[in-house]
Amino acid sequence: MTLRDYFEETGLKQLWLAQQLGISGSMLSLIVRGRRLPTPALAEKIRLVTKGKVLFDETPSQRIGVRSIPEVG
C-alpha cells in the first residue's frame, strides 16, 4: 500500500504520521509525493507505525511508496 493510499484508507493526516516518525510534515510530504526516499531506518519506522501496511523494498517505485507502472513492450 502506498502512503497516499494509507492516508485515504485510515483518514489519518500526514502531520500526525510525521509527528509519530519524528520528521517534519514537509519531509513526509516529499516522501509521499516521491520527491525523497526514506532512509532504511525511516522506512522501518513507517512500517512499524502503519502496522505493516506501508512497506518499502528495493524496487525504486516501491521504495517511494508509489504504484508500479506496467512496462510497455
Statement: the pTM of the whole predicted model exceeds 0.85: no
Pairwise CA distance, residues 70 & 48, whole Å: 29
pLDDT of 20-57, one tens digit each?
Answer: 999 999 999 999 998 998 999 999 999 999 999 999 87
Spatial neighbors of 63 by CB under 8 A, at least 6 apart, are 37, 38, 43, 56, 57
User: Domain limits of the chain?
Assistant: 3-63
Distance in angstroms (rounded) separating the CA atoms of residues 73 and 69: 13
Is it the case that residue 67 has pLDDT exceeding 90? no
pLDDT of residue 64: 46
Signed CA dihedral, 2, 37, 20, 44: sign only? positive
Q: Which amino acid is at 30?
A: L
Q: Give the right CATH number for 3-63 from 1.20.910, 3.40.190, 1.10.260, 1.10.10.
A: 1.10.260
